[in-house]
Structure 1
Amino acid sequence: MKTIASCVQDIIVSSPFLEEGLSRQIINFSALAKELNQPISEVLRKPIKDGAIMMALRRYQQPSYLENSTRLKKVFSQLGDITVRSNLSDFTFQNSNSLIHSHSQVLEKISTNHQIFYAFTRGMFESNIIISTSEKESILKAFKNETQIGLQDKLSAISIYLPTGNSKIAGLYYQIFKRLAWENITLYEVVSTTNEFTIVVEDDLVDKAFSVIKRLKN
């Protein structure tokens, strides 16, 4: 059964910026209660008093990762090198029985050239390849018999080396995505390994994205 408290929680959880604003106590509860009155009243199908919503807002328990900001700050201060690679292309192909064979041809060609950026991700129905644009023709040749779904040029990748044990830190990726969203930076792709996190953006956003990532360390 829906209650005022559960409605408030649903709204806050679906609005990360609102959630952080409440945790930092920079939002006026009275003004926010008035703003939430209509949507909550519609869900509960009855008039709701602003005071009841204010009480629910004050009782809202923020997520542990927001409470544990000291630990997150320590992790961000330990971030490793930040690497930027430009002149990248992004290919998307429909999965098939022969896709891995095509993929192996590319790996064989670039295996001795460590200057080439290459990332391969296989999903349920499609696979994605991010590679230095200099190898664009090689990809098109190797995958000529595959169904190409998409292609995007003029991309750049920003890779961040994360401290050991980062997978145990709740809210780590949330903080990165939140900062990027605040700056209106659209992510074209996201690639990660255990201790490395890479975002791919269009070239015109790379300087802005790099500045955001660099500030995380401070």
Structure 2
Amino acid sequence: MKTIASCVEEIIKNQPFIEEGLSRNIINYSALAEHVQPMIEKRLHKSVKTGAIMMALRRYNPPIHASATTKMQRILKNLGDITVRSNLTDFTFQNSPTLIRSHAKILEQITTDRRIFYAFTRGILESNIIISSSEKDKVITSFTQETQLDLQENLSAISINLPHDNSKVPGLYYQIFKRLAWEGIALHEVVSTTNEFTILVKDVMVDRAFSVMKNLKNETYF
């Protein structure tokens, strides 16, 4: 049976910015109660007083990762070097039995040149190749037998080195994505290894995105 408290919890969990605001005690409970009142009444099929909603909001306990943690602060302070690479092209190909052979062809041509940016990710149905635009024609030639689903140009990659224990801290990627979202920065692609995190954005957004990534080390967001 649904209650006011369960409805409040359901709504807040689907809106992480609100959840974090509650954990930091910077949300106006009265205003928030009025905001969610129609949603709760729709779920319960009856009228609900804002006072009852406010009580449920005050009793709500955000998860640990939504509030300040010493470990998270330490991880952010110890983020490593940031590298920016511009003039990139992103290819999307449909997966096929011959895709790996096509991939091997392009690798043979670029592995000796360390100046070339290259990233390959394989999903269940499709694969992506992010490469320096100077090598665009080589990819097109190597993948002539493959089905190209998309092609995006004028992209830039911002990579940041992560501390070695980053995988043990819940919420690290959330902090990065949150700041980018607040600044209105749309991510074209995300590429992650164990200790390195790369975002791909349009060239026009690279300066703002770089500023966000840089300030992660210097500001407190909790």
TM-score class, shorter-chain normalisation, is over 0.9
Looking at structure 2, the residues matched to 67 and 87 of structure 1 have their Cα atoms a distance apart, in angstroms, of 38
Looking at structure 2, the residues matched to 103 and 3 of structure 1 have their Cα atoms a distance apart, in angstroms, of 55
Q: Does 1:40 align with 2:40?
A: yes
Q: List gaps (5 residues or longer) in structure 1.
A: none
Partner of 1:123: 123
3-state SS of 2:159 partner: strand
Partner of 1:75: 75
Q: Deviations over 1:105-151 (max 9, x none)?
A: 01111111111111101111110110000000000000011100000
Q: Deviations over 1:56-89 (max 9, x none)?
A: 1011111111234322111010001000000000
Looking at structure 2, the residues matched to 133 and 2 of structure 1 have their Cα atoms a distance apart, in angstroms, of 55
3-state SS of 2:210 partner: helix
Looking at structure 2, the residues matched to 115 and 11 of structure 1 have their Cα atoms a distance apart, in angstroms, of 48
3-state SS of 2:121 partner: strand
Q: Could you tell me which amino acid in structure 2 is paired with residue 212 of structure 1?
A: V
Q: Could you tell me which amino acid in structure 1 is paired with residue 182 of structure 2?
A: W
Q: Does 1:49 align with 2:49?
A: yes
3-state SS of 1:101 partner: helix
- Mapped contact 2:19–2:66 kept (Cα < 8 A): no
Alignment of 1:105-120 (within 5 A): 105-120=105-120
Q: Could you tell me which amino acid in structure 1 is paired with residue 83 of structure 2?
A: T
Q: Could you tell me which amino acid in structure 1 is paired with residue 19 of structure 2?
A: E
3-state SS of 1:25 partner: coil
Q: Could you tell me which amino acid in structure 2 is paired with residue 58 of structure 1?
A: R
3-state SS of 1:54 partner: helix
Partner of 2:202: 202
Looking at structure 2, the residues matched to 133 and 63 of structure 1 have their Cα atoms a distance apart, in angstroms, of 43
Alignment of 1:78-97 (within 5 A): 78-97=78-97
3-state SS of 2:54 partner: helix
Q: Does 1:7 align with 2:7?
A: yes
Partner of 1:172: 172
Looking at structure 2, the residues matched to 35 and 174 of structure 1 have their Cα atoms a distance apart, in angstroms, of 25
Q: Could you tell me which amino acid in structure 2 is paired with residue 143 of structure 1?
A: F
Looking at structure 2, the residues matched to 24 and 68 of structure 1 have their Cα atoms a distance apart, in angstroms, of 8
Looking at structure 2, the residues matched to 133 and 205 of structure 1 have their Cα atoms a distance apart, in angstroms, of 18
Partner of 1:150: 150
Looking at structure 2, the residues matched to 8 and 107 of structure 1 have their Cα atoms a distance apart, in angstroms, of 52
Root-mean-square deviation (CA), in Å?
A: 0.9
Moved over 3 A (4+): none
TM value normalised by structure 2: 0.96
Q: Deviations over 1:20-76 (max 9, x none)?
A: 211221111011111111110001111111111111101111111123432211101
3-state SS of 1:138 partner: helix
- Mapped contact 2:20–2:67 kept (Cα < 8 A): no
Looking at structure 1, the residues matched to 207 and 69 of structure 2 have their Cα atoms a distance apart, in angstroms, of 27
Matched-pair identity in %: 64
Looking at structure 2, the residues matched to 27 and 82 of structure 1 have their Cα atoms a distance apart, in angstroms, of 34
Question: How many residue pairs were aligned?
Answer: 218
Partner of 1:17: 17
